[in-house]
Structure 1
Amino acid sequence: AALRRGMGEGSDIVADVAYYAHHLGADTAQGAADPEHLTESEQRMLLSWADTLGAPAEVAQGRLAAPARAAADWIARRFGLDNRMVGLLVATFCREVGSYLAEPDRRHAVRDTVACTIREYQPAVVLAHSLGSVVAYETLWAHPDLRVELLLTLGSPLALPEVVYSRLDPAPIGGKGQRPPGVRRWINIADPGDFIAIPRGLPDYFDGIDADLSTPIGVFNFHKVTGYLSCATTAAAVATQLGR
């Protein structure tokens, strides 16, 4: 529905979803809002993330009491956002990323699910949001027989150091990741205020990105998939690819 809104009234575009949340575990999907409930490794992930965003040393190095909550609160202040909303977002993100990257069986199950969906529907465009962009990237590398005309990554943390980038499969070579072999074009879109889609300048970290676009989707929508799907920049990229 969000994509159809962006494409305009009367759009007959059909979108299929590769659902994989069940592979990440119910506790991950339901995670508590308090970052202090994260595991030790997930808290280290959050501190590294805050460091990338420019947090002062006492925050990034976990010197304060309740270090994970302090990091989340710093991010909220840095971007002028509600503490509870940011706490929920960062806790959920760290749990999901940790579950996906740290558990090989889950990682393979997720990638196989996405690969099966792509193979069944053979879409011209694959839209991949947030952690989904990491999953899509790894899936398309793991299954080089899959052919995609356009990979459209939205709010992507692919280049997030320590948290994602250094843990990718396949690992970046010579400091650079590469466009998956079956992908003809790759476009990345990020809201300038999206603190998950960092660092900026994805082409500095990956070869083969045809366009790296910045588009504001609203202070309350900065990382929501619906905001990205309904924005004019996404609609234009999809319409151009589909010849509409």
Structure 2
Amino acid sequence: MTIVAVHGIGNHLAGRSSERAAAELAAQWQPKLHQGFASAGLDGHQLPEVHVAYYAHHMQVTERQAVAADLSSIDEQEQSVIIAWALALGSPSLEERQGLITAPLRQILSWVSRRRKIPIATIIRIAVQLAGEVHRYLHVPQVRAAARSAVAESIRRARPQVVLAHSLGSVVAYEALHAHPELTVDCLVTLGSPLGLPSGIFDHLVPAPIADRGARPAGVRYWVNLADTGDLVAIPHRLGDRFPVDQHADTSIGRIDFHTFGAYLASPLTAVAISPFVDSSSIPDQIACDFGSARLK
């Protein structure tokens, strides 16, 4: 069995070719996925081989985004992404919302830090990475086209049964699969996905949502969404409210490690979501992943 893993924000590996970067990430994430299978009691299953769809080199991540969480370099368009994200995180009252929209950026993020009880430095780091990469993907046409093409080509070459798409990678994979309906996968698993983020992402998707609902890519047979309830990027974490997700499950991957791809891959729920597709010849017509038992392990 083969899966394609589509990475999220913060995965640019400088000084490597795209092929080398993809191989390095696959080498990091393969053991994590095996750990998830073991935690779910699925050691006897055939373990899938991880191929990484690497597109970070097209995002042209700057040193600001990759290393220094510097709010002073956030431009006006990037700031709008952060504001949309911050407001979605806190569900403030109308009066609070109006005040926050015009507040200085650090004040907005301090508000999130207090609400979520997360250190302000962590909030700023996530905000800077998220704003830069999301804005470039959604609003720089050549970046968007190149990233989608890289993901589509990886899926075309690997012909996976499953696509695991994390963070911003879930947005890229969603659009790539829509743009290439000839690409078919038995299961799309979105992990820590911000696809439904109002204003910041959802309203800019291609194809555009209709009646406040996104559509399933034509080649996707089954869609599972997994999100840690404390994941600051998976906002809102229940994609089923806006997308035709077949199954959603909340997973706990840790207060500190609440968004990394590795932590999601090591979750037993990820293994349970994948396991019905290990042998593609025996995939049943009706699929229902048994997440209940995995939570107990």
Q: Deviations for 1:182-205, whole angstroms, at most 9, x for unmatched residues? A: 000000000011121112431111
Q: Looking at both structures, which has the greater relative contact order when contacts are Cα pairs under 8 Å and sequence separation is at least 6?
A: 2
Give, in whole Å, the separation in 2 of the partners of 1:226 and 1:144.
Answer: 29
Contact in 2 for aligned 1:151/1:187 (Cα 8 Å): yes
Counterpart AA for 1:38: I
**Conserved? CA contact 2:193–2:237, under 8 Å:** no
Q: Which residue of 2 aligns with 1:26?
A: 61
Report the CA distance shift for 1:40/1:149 in structure 2 as closer, same or farther (over 3 A): same
CA distance in 2, matches of 1:226, 1:86: 20
Query: 2:24 matched to which residue of 1?
Result: none
Counterparts of 1:1-244 in structure 2, within 5 Å, are: 1-8=31-38, 12-27=47-62, 30=66, 32-53=68-89, 54-55=91-92, 56-57=96-97, 60-63=100-103, 67-207=104-244, 209-243=245-279
Following superposition, the deviation at residue 243 of structure 1 comes to 4.5
- SS of aligned partner of 1:206: coil
Query: What CA distance in whole angstroms lies between the structure 2 residues aligned with 1:18 and 1:49?
Result: 26
Unaligned stretches of 5+ in structure 1?
Answer: none
CA distance in 2, matches of 1:83, 1:186: 34
Paired residues of 1:31 and 1:92 also in contact (CA < 8 A): no
Distance 1:30 1:215 in 2: 27
AA at the equivalent of 1:242: V
Inter-CA distance 178–198: structure 2 relative to 1 (3 Å threshold): same
CA radius of gyration, larger in? 2
Which letter does structure 1 place at the counterpart of 2:48?
I
**Match of 1:236, as an amino acid?**
V
Change (3 A) 1:148 1:62: same
- Which 10-residue stretch deviates more, 196-205 or 127-136? 196-205
Taking a change above 3 Å as real, the CA distance of residues 5 and 212 of structure 1, as seen in their structure-2 partners, is same
Query: Cα offset for 1:106?
Result: 0.6
User: After superposition, what is the alpha-carbon deviation per residue over 1:196-218, rounded to whole angstroms, capped at 9, x for unaligned?
Assistant: 111243111112x1101111111
- Distance in 1 of aligned mates of 2:221 and 2:178: 13
Residues in 1 aligned to 2:267 and 2:74: alpha-carbon distance in whole angstroms: 33
Which whole-Å deviations, capped at 9, do the CAs of 1:146-200 have from their partners, x for residues lacking one?
Answer: 0000000000000000000000000001211111000000000000111211124
What is the TM-score when the length of structure 1 is the normalising length? 0.93
User: Matches of 1:59 and 1:242 in 2, distance apart?
Assistant: 51
The alignment's C-alpha RMSD in Å is 1.8
Task: Tell me, in whole angstroms, the C-alpha distance in 2 between the residues paired with 1:222 and 1:59.
Answer: 29
- Mean CA deviation greater in 19-28 or 211-220: 19-28
**Aligned counterparts of 1:87 and 1:59: Cα–Cα separation in 2:** 20
Question: Structure 2 stretches of 5 or more lacking a match?
Answer: 1-30, 281-297
Structure 1 outlier segments of 4+, above 6 Å: none
Distance (Å, rounded) in 2 between the aligned partners of 1:73 and 1:61: 13
